[in-house]
Amino acid sequence: MLFNSFEFMLFLPIVFLLYWFVFKPRRLQNLFLVVASYVFYGWWDWRFLCLIALTSFSSYVSGILIQRHEGQRHIQRLVSASNIILNLVILAVFKYYNFFMDNLAFLFSSVGYRLDWVTLDIILPVGISFYTFQALSYTIDVYRGQIRPTHDIVEFFAYISFFPQLVAGPIERATNLLPQFQRERQFDYAKAVDGMRQILWGLFKKLVIADNCASAVNAFWTEYNDLSGLSLLAIGILFTFQIYSDFSGYSDIAIGCARLFGISLKQNFNFPYFSRSIPEFWRRWHISLMTWFRDYIYFPLGGSRCARWKVIRNTLIVFFVSGLWHGANWTFICWGLYHACLIAIYILLGINTKSKDVVAQGHLLPSVREFCQLAITFFLAVVGWIIFRSENMPQAYEFLSRMFTTMFDQGLYIAHGKRYLIWGFLMLLFEWLQRDKQHALQLSHQGLFRYASARFALYAVLVYIMFLYAGTVQTFIYFQF
């Protein structure tokens, strides 16, 4: 079920009303959320409900078994490893089997053997990477002794399947989300109102920015041989706007929906296009995934507290896995390694990339230095997104080659794409003004917005723009991951 579908517009208020007015005790609320979440997920294809149920049940049982054999580290290690391997095998079969078999067949064909029979007609279950990583983190945290396992199977199934973040994150940790299903929840009007604002902003980004940019990108992407370098750069920027508005829009809707049910999800995007370096960009982009890799891969490898070459090695491993996580295609892997190489350059040059503060804090405009840092980081991100969007690496190479070699040969010729570029930059301008907030519509009651009429006028304008300029409905990009 898509957030931007008519079905969801009926589903959400019905679930909300039943949750707060019918299923009052916490245990009934948890059970109802599990049922609602399975309906939400099964709306796409009910057959894949067995996969998420298997992942949930195996992880739930593994937690109990790890606790039961406390002090017997070898048994705990066996239980933990068994559950991790089971879930990774499921993920590998559905997401990567054909990719690896296709590459194996290519290698054999180069020496005269045909292995066409090794591939299978497999449908990729929506959101499998997200809920699998969420389940894995629970097992690892229980094994490490960082959390106590739950014995309530309903609250654990609610933790894995909670519908707002089920199919595209944020990837929640049991330390944050599971305790919220273990205590009574009270309706908070202020949080619910703020959640509605965040939903509105997420829908605006998805319907007006992402979907319109998608139509322009899809129309011109394969015509790179006939377009000028400037036009190709514009298409790259359009996709940069598209993927950010699409994915962060989903996260905004998910976080906002969760607040309606008294649940707090972690921030997944922190205005990443206002980063002063690529490392800072990755601290602001898809935060839940990158902190997952940091805690379960990067730190166990030694993190940054080791020799410089090992830090670079650890970075390459993390971004290789990150690229592979995004999909079974060499473009994703090369995109991950591209960012790893950029970060390696920062490490080798000893450039300080520890900035966590809001850029140009307390000022309307950035300094000249900050502006140059923002522009360079944004351009490097655009180049990366071109690799990400390409169907294969030869296409990525040809696209970038032509973009750089013919940059100033001709003008900008992408028809209606110019209008969507303006929309994208206006979105960034509005977010720039709100960059010290959790989301762009978290309006402080100061200045003009201290008046309720001004706030509601802004909401009305956004809704009007959505009805007037919404693009052709597109599925969320990260559903494929």
Active site residues: 326
Helix (H) or strand (E) holding 446: none
Strand, coil or helix: what is 69?
coil
Distance CA 276, CA 377 (A): 6
- The two tokens of residue 47 are 């057959």
Tell how far CA 271 is from the center of its chain.
Answer: 13
Please name the residue that has the structure tokens 């990567």: 96
For 136, half-sphere exposure in the C-beta direction (CA atoms, 13 angstrom radius) is: 22
Strand extents, DSSP E, 264-388: none
Strand, coil or helix: what is 381?
helix
Per the CB < 8 A criterion, the answer to whether 417 and 368 are in contact is no
Distance CA 95, CA 308 (A): 34
Per the CB < 8 A criterion, the answer to whether 76 and 69 are in contact is yes
Q: At what angle do helices 211-220 and 229-260 cross, to 10 degrees?
A: 150
Number of H helices, E strands in the chain: 19, 0
Q: At what angle do helices 330-349 and 308-326 cross, to 10 degrees?
A: 160
Contacts of residue 385, Cβ cutoff 8 Å, sequence gap at least 6: 236, 239, 240, 243
Per the CB < 8 A criterion, the answer to whether 118 and 101 are in contact is yes
Which amino acid is present at 183?
A: R
Show the DSSP H helices in 96-118 as ranges: 97-109
Per the CB < 8 A criterion, the answer to whether 270 and 430 are in contact is no
Which amino acid is present at 237?
A: I
Contacts 24+ apart (CB under 8 A), 297-300: 297/321
Q: How many residues does the chain have?
A: 481
Per the CB < 8 A criterion, the answer to whether 243 and 269 are in contact is no
Per the CB < 8 A criterion, the answer to whether 428 and 273 are in contact is yes
Which amino acid is present at 307?
A: A
Helix (H) or strand (E) holding 219: helix 211-220
